[in-house]
Structure formats: structure tokens, C-alpha cells
A and B are shown apart, each in its own frame.
Chain A
Amino acid sequence: MKHFITLLVENQPGVLARIVGLISGRGYNIETLNVGPTDDPTLSRMTMTVPGDDHVLEQVTKQLYKLVDVIEVTDLTARREDAQERD
């Protein structure tokens, strides 16, 4: 199952390494990753695709939320499925 995760994070050095480290440290591969600025220069938006087991990725999402530099985590997977069904 592919997961589409989007994060709002502090725009600081080391934040990307922290997030990637948390995911790779649990043996998951990041398939796509995009980082960009937001209207607020102190924050960045990250979007990534991570294939993996639902239960474990739910844990990963929760763990990401625990990082001090991470302000918001959303798993878009469910929403995307809804959209596809409507199509």
C-alpha cells in the first residue's frame, strides 16, 4: 500500500535528515520526496510517497508528529482513494 504523507515543518537545517532518518531507520523506502517553501518563510512543506504496511506507517506518522520540528502531519492516502472512487 502506497502512503502519501504531507508535512509542515520548521525551515531549519537538519530537519530533512531527522525525518528521512526516522523513516529509513524503520526500514522504509521513500519513493518520492518534495520539499518547498510556504507563505511563512520559517516553515517548509514536504510531500512524500512511502510504500508499506498500513499499521506500521500509521506508527511512522505518529512518530513523525512527535518530532519537535514537525508541526503538522497528514496522511493523504485515504483522501486520494476517495477522490479516485469519485472519478
Chain B
Amino acid sequence: MTTKSRTGADCVIEGLRQAGTEIIFGLPGGAVLDMFSKLYHAEDMEFVLARHEQGATHMADGYARATGKVGVCLVTSGPGATNAVTGLATAYMDGIPMVCISGQVPSHMIGNDAFQEADTTGITRAVTKHNYLVHSADDLPRIIAEAFHVASTGKPGPVLIDIPKDVQRAETTAPACTTVNLAGYRPVSGFIPDQVKDLAAAINAAERPLLYTGGGIIAGNAAVELTALARKANLPVTTTLMGLGGFPETDSLALRMLGMHGTVTANRAVGECDLLISVGARFDDRVTGKISEFAPKAKKAHIDIDPTSIDKSVPVDYPVVGHVKDVLAALIDQVEARERRAWNDHLDELQAQFPLAYDESTDEVLPQYVIEMVYKVSGGEALIVTDVGQHQMWATHFFKYTRPRTFLSSGGLGTMGYGLPAAIGAQAAFPEKNVVVLAGDGGIQMCFQELVVAVEHGWNVNVMILNNGHLGMVRQWQEMFYDKEYSATVLKQRGRPANEKIPDSSRREFLPDFVKMAEAYGAVGLRVTKKEDVVPTLEKAFSTKAPVVVEYIVKEEENVYPMVPPGASLDEMICSMA
């Protein structure tokens, strides 16, 4: 059977369709016109026109995190591709499946400094799981199929396909690709039974075991198995930022997040446990603090699909390479149902003694209070998408996550500007869900323009801007470690250092006016300055059938506690400035 001739651009659409693509986020340009011309007729695929390629990549990322499917974005050559780099790096650091297709100048122009030319595969090599520069339309069906396979298997990640304009236009009779065969890419399948057996025996023998779980639980769809294992053997669970939602935080075994801004109980448990079982987590420096003093009394186990994660920063006594879902299922059968009353009671006492808290008596609007009210008013059912900074940490403290894929956040790269576009991607997948963006006044301005996308598609995201007039987390570090030298962290119009020359004028204290900005984009804008208005405003926002932006003028110099200073060990937590 011969395949009928069609263009490279046709093969791209064909490949996307074959991979089950329902929605594409992107922005056009000269080098991708041929693909957009084909897309014009592809009525089975929704196209979302972002206003900046960074926004498009974060939307694809948010869609991928919320659904578990591969997020797809399409950008042009040169600046289109360089704008996409931040979004690719964000997805790469957090292991999010994404396929990004970029246009490239015609093959014969490559290397000539042509208009809108950039060495896209060179630039993105370090921030993608794999990338391709396509030399012939004959290769396109295979490359598209490979890209989706690589992006979604093993430890997932973004894959970029750079397609020169002449390749998009060239005719080919290459058949559709139905099987992927990559000699150099064999993602882990199964596991070594003896490794699991040894770990099960270690768990059965442990008096003070602790599960430390990460994004692998979410990516590996293993929340059910994790919960069953923890409950069967009474294993307390602490979760990384990426792992939130993988274990119900309302469960009595949940110690909640560990690390730099983890709970006292979680960090103490790490210090006291005799067996630390890492499941799909990678001993990140924000989790471990001073690595040589991390879990000093514990034997360490590490279950991960990525063999390079094991023994990377911490020597491990019980390595298990495998898919977390399969390994946990096997462990459930092999661990004994046993009580660990002394250990569980001790941790319960710590939780009671060191709750996450803030000053509830003050009349000021505290950011922590706003987030706790988001939890209460939404009934804990909201899909939370954060930006990066103080509010992101408070979002881990004052909202309890009970299901996977309900907390989306840029963990590894810490990308400010991520929240709003990622929420739009999540809302695109689930138009009926209550998607709530928690952001600061700094980060929200980095991708604010994407609000128009939510408005025009009728995706009713709720954007909560906690405006403290500062780049809050950096300001907190300056307060704690740099003698309150607030260099370049004051966003409001007063109180800046002398060299940031802003004449004290009659301008309003906070610029921009977020309420007017929301209205300018066609969204509803609300402002809260009093504590008693927080709950009624949330009720109004959640019942409004339009995108809503709420600006909360919150207490300025509020800090995130507990905090482990950078480079310190987890038992050196600071719990207040007192």
C-alpha cells in the first residue's frame, strides 16, 4: 500500500491527531504559516491563541499537569522559540510531558543569520528531555510519534521539534508511524523483585519509618497505592511541593510538606526516623537542607523510575528502580499490617504542639488568612495554581490537598509568571472546575496579558492577587539575612532606596491598578482592603460566571515560617522573628 503524497505540515497535523491532541496553545509567525494554514482546517483540534509564547508554554504545562496528558504548543522561529524557553525549562525541571513544535527558517538559510533565525535546538538542548531539528519531511511522521513517546514515558518531560519552513512545505509519501523504536531510549518497565523484597523487610523491621513522597506519585498515578500502603503499615507521610495532593492531607498520617518551609513535624520526623522511604522524590536541596545532616539516623530507601535520581545526592541503602505504581502495589502485599503506636502518637503530639499558624487576632488582612478562606469557601474543592514566592509557600500551609492534580506549581525552576497561564491551561481542560490562581503582585505582572485568553474563551479562572507591595520572598530574605536592605524589592511607590529614584509624588501607592487592569481585559476586578470583606468577596468571585481578579491589599512585612535557612540542616528551623 502506498501512502498518498502530502506536505510536511500535513504530517504534523496527522501526527498530532494520531497522538490524541485535542488542544494546542501557541502563537503564529512567518516560519510556521504552513502549519497554521493546515490547522485552519483541523476543526477537531482547538487552538488557543496566547499573547506571548511563555504564556503558551505554561498553558500547555498547566493542561498537562491537570490532565496527565501531553501538553502541546506551537510557536514560530527565533523570538517565538526563545520566548518558549522559560516554559520548557519549567516543564523540564518538574518532569511535565509536553511537545513543543517550533518553526525554523528554510534549511538553506540556517546559519545565515536570517530574519527570525535562532539555533533553537542548540538553545533548548539543556531544557528539554530531547529535541529534533527536522531535515526531511519523510522523517516527520516518525519524529512526531517519537516525541510524544519520549515526552510521556519514563520520567516525563518536554520535547521540542524544530521544523524548517521548506520541510513543512515539502511533499512526502512517508507512511504514518505506528510503532516507535528508539535503540537508545528504553524507559524502565517492571522492577527487580529482590529490591522490593529487601525494602519490604526493612519497612517491617522499622520502628520509626517515614514515607517522603514527591511528584513521581502524581506523574505515576500512584496516589491510591500510596494511601493504601501508608494506611496498612501505619507509615506517616511527608510530601514535597511537587507531591502535594498525592496523599490526603486531611489524613492523620499526613505530616504535610517538608523542607525549607515544611512543617515542624515533618522536618522533625526526618531527623528522628529510622527508615526514610523516598517515593518519586529526588532529594532536592530545598527539601534536604544541609545534605550531610539529612535524616542522620535513618537507613534510606529510594523508589524512582529514573535510575540517575538514585544515589545522586544521598547514598541510598535500599534502591528500587521501577514505576512507583507497580512497586507500591508489590509493597502493599509484602508489608505487614502493624501498629506503630509510639511513633504515630509522638508525631501527633508534635503536630498539636507546632501547628501552622498566623496571627488570627489582627484586623489586618493577612495573606495566610486569605488562603485559608479560599480553602474554606471553596470547600477544599478548588484546583489551586500558584505563582512563585511567599504566597506559594502559604498555599502549601493553609490549603489542604486531598487529590492528585489539584495543586499546580512551578517547583524546580520557580518560575514567576507561571500561575495565570498554567491556570488557563487547566481551566481549558476542565471548564467547570473552580480554578483559583494564587499570586503575588510581582509574579502576576509577568504574564498578566494572558488574562484576555481566559476572558475570550469563557474560562472563569479566579485570580487572587496578594498585594504586599513587595517582591515578598526576596524581601523576606533581605530582612532575615541582609539587614533589611530592601534593594529592588519594593514595588509600591513609596519607601524605596535612594538609588531607585522615584520622586515621592501624589501617585497612588500601588501601581498598576489591578482592578482597572482586570476591567481593561474584560474581566471582573475587585479589591479587598478589610478583613471582613475577604469571605463575601470570595463567595462573589466563586459564583461569578466570568474571570475574576481580586486584589487583596495585605500586610506588607509578613514572613513565611517555619523556615530552614539556606544551607542549614532541617533541625535548625526558624519559627518566628522573635
Contact = CB atoms under 8 A, between A and B. Distances in A.
A64 to B, nearest CB: 10
A36 interface: no
Contacts of A67: 130, 184
Interface residues of A, number: 19
A17 B122 contact: yes
Nearest to B308: A62
Contacts of B184: 9-10, 67-71
A67 B130 CA distance: 8
Contact of B183 (A13, A58, A71): A71
Interface string A50-64: 000000001100110
Interface in B81-138: 121-122, 125-126, 129-130, 133, 135
Contact of A59 (B126, B182, B308): B308
A70 B308 CA distance: 15
A10 B126 CA distance: 19
Contacts of A68: 129-130, 150, 182, 184-185
Q: Could you say which of B125, B130, B133, B184 has the most chain A C-beta atoms within 10 Å of its C-beta?
A: B184
Contacts of A69: 184
A18 interface: yes
B125 A17 contact: yes
Contacts of B135: 13
Contacts of A9: 184
A61 to B, nearest CB: 9
Contacts of B311: 58
A10 to B, nearest CB: 6
A10 B150 CA distance: 16
A41 interface: no
Q: Could you say which of A9, A25, A66, A67 has the most chain B C-beta atoms within 10 Å of its C-beta?
A: A66
- Per CB-CB distance, the 8 closest pairs between chain A and chain B, nearest first, are A62-B308, A71-B184, A68-B130, A68-B185, A71-B183, A70-B184, A68-B184, A69-B184
Interface of B: 121-122, 125-126, 129-130, 133, 135, 150, 182-185, 306-308, 311-312
Given A18-B125, A71-B183, 8 more contacts: A10-B184, A21-B125, A59-B308, A63-B308, A66-B306, A68-B182, A68-B184, A69-B184
